[in-house]
């Protein structure tokens, strides 16, 4: 039962009980939300254990027995495609192999892709204009923020939209695929999560120009036509409402007008990994026409705990349309086995339809046992 329907049901049931109209209590019990009904996912990005099809089959059979229903194999990492592609550099086509074995086991397979970063050297060389530009006029093509792979494309460049659309048309057409999962569907972080800042030796107490995107010619022209002002001339861009909104809307338009229609045209599920600190990556994800979202509730980066995980799930419950499902993205490595069980339980209590584990690599035998026990499977 969907969260909103459940809440509505509870309200109606309470009213019915009080008025003495509800006589069949068992009927109500059957419809109460249970932790055993959660749908659970797992992100998968290393394939060293998948040397044979039988090893894939055995691994998938095992994780299914622990309570996983759907796989998120990373099939495009901004450099190579792990599927047969005529458009992108090819690595081993793991997606097709995983789909074949997952069908035998009875697991869903959803392709996890990096969306906005593009680290293919020929694209960097041939289309430097596709990349986001910061307020210091530095392009992510040759001077990315934070780390070398932060080479993000600009969502407003027509060439970028065509490139992403074409890649997605090819991917979504793969036989047996259940869905497409967008990761990195955003701008670079204008402010990093609080516990990540020391890692880069920086303090981001406000928006600084070297991390603030995008001031490329297309974005500046587009905003100038819309608002009558060049964003480069703004004294405090962070507080200029229309300019802030322009960046939010740039990503939302790419997602709703370009990416989602492609996936839907192939009858695939469409969803995204999204940020709790959405303002800092210009990501108004609740406005996207997704089937589900996976907020990445990696609490240790935010110096936070279970309460924070729950408050973010409640925020998603409140802001998303009732048709969308919410899966709590948990960072496995940040938990011992007991803590992982608590995080799953707390996610369920806050209204999540399931959890998504990041990642398969971090799950120890103890984690799996605790996970299954929390789900009342073993
Ligand atoms: Zn731009």
Q: b/e map of 56-65 (b: 16 or more CB within 10 Å)?
A: bbebbeebbe
What digits encode the pLDDT tens for the residues 61-108?
Answer: 999 999 999 999 999 999 999 999 999 999 999 999 999 999 999 999
φ, ψ of residue 147 to 5 degrees: the values are -135, 160
What digits encode the pLDDT tens for the residues 207-249?
Answer: 999 999 999 999 999 999 999 999 999 999 999 999 999 999 9
What's the pLDDT score for residue 29?
Answer: 44
> Is residue 25 over pLDDT 70?
no
Identify the band that residue 48 occupies on the pLDDT scale cut at 50, 70 and 90. Answer: confident
Residue range 158-180: mean pLDDT, rounded: 98
* 331 Cα distance to chain centroid: 13
φ, ψ of residue 117 to 5 degrees: the values are -70, 145
Please give the distance, rounded to the nearest whole angstrom, from the Cα atom of residue 215 to the centre of ligand 1.
6
Please give the distance, rounded to the nearest whole angstrom, from the Cα atom of residue 88 to the centre of ligand 1.
23
Please give the distance, rounded to the nearest whole angstrom, from the Cα atom of residue 112 to the centre of ligand 1.
25
What's the pLDDT score for residue 30?
Answer: 46
CA distances from 18 to 13, 374, 377 (A): 9, 33, 35
Please give the distance, rounded to the nearest whole angstrom, from the Cα atom of residue 287 to the centre of ligand 1.
21
Please give the distance, rounded to the nearest whole angstrom, from the Cα atom of residue 58 to the centre of ligand 1.
46
SS3 165: helix
What CATH number does the domain located at 39-374 have? 3.20.20.80
Please give the distance, rounded to the nearest whole angstrom, from the Cα atom of residue 132 to the centre of ligand 1.
5
Please give the distance, rounded to the nearest whole angstrom, from the Cα atom of residue 124 to the centre of ligand 1.
15
Please give the distance, rounded to the nearest whole angstrom, from the Cα atom of residue 131 to the centre of ligand 1.
7
Residue range 1-8: mean pLDDT, rounded: 50
What's the pLDDT score for residue 2?
Answer: 57
């Amino acid at each position: 039962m969907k969260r909103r329907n459940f809440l509505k049901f509870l309200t109606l049931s309470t009213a019915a009980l009080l008025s003495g109209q509800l006589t069949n209590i068992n009927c109500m019990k059957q419809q109460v939300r249970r932790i055993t009904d959660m749908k659970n996912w797992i992100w998968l990005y290393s394939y060293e254990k998948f040397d044979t099809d039988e090893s894939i089959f055995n691994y998938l059979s095992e994780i299914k027995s622990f309570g996983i229903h759907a796989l998120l194999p990373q099939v495009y990492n901004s450099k190579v495609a792990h599927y047969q592609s005529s458009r992108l550099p090819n690595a081993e086509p793991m997606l097709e192999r995983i789909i074949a074995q997952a069908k035998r086991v009875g697991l869903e397979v959803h392709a996890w892709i990096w969306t906005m970063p593009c680290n293919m050297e020929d694209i960097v060389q041939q289309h430097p204009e596709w990349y986001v530009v910061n307020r210091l006029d530095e392009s992510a093509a040759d001077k990315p923020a934070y780390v070398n792979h932060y080479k993000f494309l600009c969502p407003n460049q027509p060439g970028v939209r065509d490139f992403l659309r074409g890649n997605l048309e090819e991917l979504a057409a793969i036989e047996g695929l259940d869905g497409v999962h967008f990761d990195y569907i955003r701008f670079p972080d204008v402010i990093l999560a609080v516990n990540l800042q020391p890692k880069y030796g920086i303090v981001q107490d406000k928006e600084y120009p070297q991390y603030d995107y995008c001031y490329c010619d297309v974005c500046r022209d587009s905003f100038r036509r819309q608002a009558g002002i060049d964003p480069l001339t703004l004294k405090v861009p962070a507080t200029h409402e229309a300019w802030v909104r322009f960046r939010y809307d740039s990503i939302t338009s790419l997602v709703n007008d370009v990416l989602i229609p492609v996936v839907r045209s192939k009858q695939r599920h469409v969803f995204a990994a999204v940020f709790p600190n959405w303002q800092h990556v210009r990501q108004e994800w609740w406005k996207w026409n997704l089937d589900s979202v996976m907020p990445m509730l990696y609490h240790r980066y935010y110096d936070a705990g279970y309460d924070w995980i729950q408050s973010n799930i409640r925020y998603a419950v409140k802001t998303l349309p009732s048709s969308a499902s919410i899966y709590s993205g948990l960072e496995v490595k940040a938990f011992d086995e007991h803590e992982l069980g608590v995080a799953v339980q707390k996610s369920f209590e806050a209204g999540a339809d399931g959890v998504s584990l990041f990642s398969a690599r971090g799950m120890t035998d103890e984690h799996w046992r605790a996970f299954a026990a929390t789900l009342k499977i073993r």
